[in-house]
Amino acid sequence: MAGIQTFAAIDVGSFEIEMGIYEISSKNGIRLVDHIRHVIGLGRDTYKSGRIAYERIDEVCRILEDFAGIMKSYKVQAYRAYATSAMREALNNQVVLDHIKVRTNLDVKVISNSEQRFISYKAIAIKDTEFNKMIQKGTAILDVGFGSMQITLFDKETLVTTQNLPLGALRIRELLNGIPANLPLTMDLIGEIVDNELFTFRKIHLKDREIRNIIGIGKNTLYLFRGQGNGMPEKITSAEMKQSYDKLATMSLDAVADRFGVNTEYARLLLPSAVIYKRILEMTGAENLWVPGIRLCDGIAADYADSIRLVKFNHDFERDIVIEARNLAKRYKCHTSHNQALELHALGIFDTTKKFHGMGKRERLLLQIAVLLHACGKFISMKNSNECAYNIIMSTEIIGLSHLEREIVANVVRYNIRDFDYDHVHLEEGVFRSGMTEMDMGKVNIIIAKLTAILRLANSMDRSHLQKLVGCRMSVKDNKLVITTDYAGDISLERMSFEQKADFFEEIYGIRPILKQKRKG
């Protein structure tokens, strides 16, 4: 049918490989046509030995060959195949990806944790009315995976913080593998592991924050709450969850498997998930748990539909990214009024020089984040603040940014106050470099140089931190970027710093920045 795209989403996960076949149209949105899954213990290999065994690689390739055949039968027009934590953390992930490409001709992309969680949130946001209604009040999105768990806090539609904890169901089970225990003792041991990780999160991020709702997502969540009754319940009260947990704690493993319709292997993985939900509900005092019943494949489809503009979200995800960066800046005691001035100056320069830099909306966002975090390193060291800032940014997941985008931001901040070295921009090797050519790397270096030049010039315009040039006007005339201010006082400090930064800006853009002071009278 005209206007309908057939799309395949593949999730190469820690415990299973899934594929969703979807029909996407602007009229009917996203419709799941078929869903295929195959259980495979990639995570067991990774979390135990650090490598994926060859027999497992062979199995992955056979599964994906079958998936490729199914895609062909559905006449799929586009696909995205993503791998998550098990592949991310495997030391031999490049070997695995190469085998997949050679044998199946499928390109599998390893995505960062922040990308994975962001994609899942898009699937939730497809259910616009319920999602937007819930996040009006204190809400935590709890994404319990096999390798890790993500907690994201919203309040008044605003993303407050997001943190990744090593509390994946498979990872916890591997930790307890060598301990002989009955089911009640196992549940207690899991509780101790969970409580240990949640203690720090509660102390730093919850404090007196009120959480009314929990949104539960992830594969374990689908199976865990499918056992609450017939079908998948949309909402569960805290009291209902406690009753279910108390009953679960007294059951044998075979009984757990029967109740949830899974094998005993999977039943073992549901226990950590149940403990995590119980502990989170107790810790937050949340009243309700909403289970929208989404998978990562649904998020991949939603992200694709958004990228080709076949669906429109009412929730502003870009705003979430910016707010998270602002919260990070606040945590590291960055100078708020200085950052506000820099945002105006940097984004003004970016918009005024569009035809000279050729960058788009995404690069503008990366510049904004670099502005907000440019001074976060001073929290650790005033002397080596740029290097400290680089390390802070690379150690902090900014939800919605890919690993490469975070590297771009970190390098822009790093080179803000050190000589730019085109040959030694610090881009980490590894799985996130997979498929990138030297030409690709060169393009990334140029983006870093362009954004650095803007950040440096914007920073010089508030050298005194007194916001003297706020309200200035910008225009490009005769190959000059003319910045005009009506400020009547002394701008000697800004003028001196501006001239120092002008050379690098001209080297990158081919236009000379000029600062003019227009005195009245």
The b/e string for 285-294 (b: 16+ C-beta within 10 A; e otherwise) is ebebbbbbbb
Do 51 and 157 lie in one domain? The reply is no
Do 105 and 132 lie in one domain? The reply is no
Please enumerate, as own/partner, the contacts of 257-261 that have beta carbons within 8 Å and a separation of 24 or more: 259/227, 260/223, 260/224, 260/226, 260/227, 261/223, 261/226, 261/227
Whole-number pLDDT of residue 39: 85
Do 366 and 496 lie in one domain? The reply is yes
Whole-number pLDDT of residue 230: 45
Q: How many domains does the chain have?
A: 3
> In the structure, what pLDDT confidence band is assigned to residue 260 with cuts at 50, 70 and 90?
confident
Q: How many CB atoms lie within 10 A of CB 39?
A: 12
CATH number at residue 97: 3.30.420.40
Domain span at residue 340 reads: 317-517
Mean pLDDT for all residues in the chain: 87
**pLDDT digit string, tens, across residues 28-46:** 889 999 999 998 878 888 8
Per-residue pLDDT for 378 more than 60?
yes
Per-residue pLDDT for 438 more than 80?
no
Do 217 and 144 lie in one domain? The reply is yes
> In the structure, what pLDDT confidence band is assigned to residue 1 with cuts at 50, 70 and 90?
very low
Whole-number pLDDT of residue 496: 96
Do 197 and 263 lie in one domain? The reply is yes
Do 150 and 189 lie in one domain? The reply is yes
> Who wins on pLDDT, 368 or 185?
368
> In the structure, what pLDDT confidence band is assigned to residue 473 with cuts at 50, 70 and 90?
very high
| CA pair distance 350, 40, nearest whole angstrom | 48
CATH number at residue 371: 1.10.3210.10
Q: Is residue 193 part of a domain?
A: yes
The arithmetic mean of pLDDT across residues 57-76, rounded, is 96
**pLDDT digit string, tens, across residues 131-146:** 777 777 888 989 888 7
For the chain, percent of residues with pLDDT exceeding 90: 45
What angle separates helix 42-49 from helix 54-73, to the nearest 10 degrees?
150
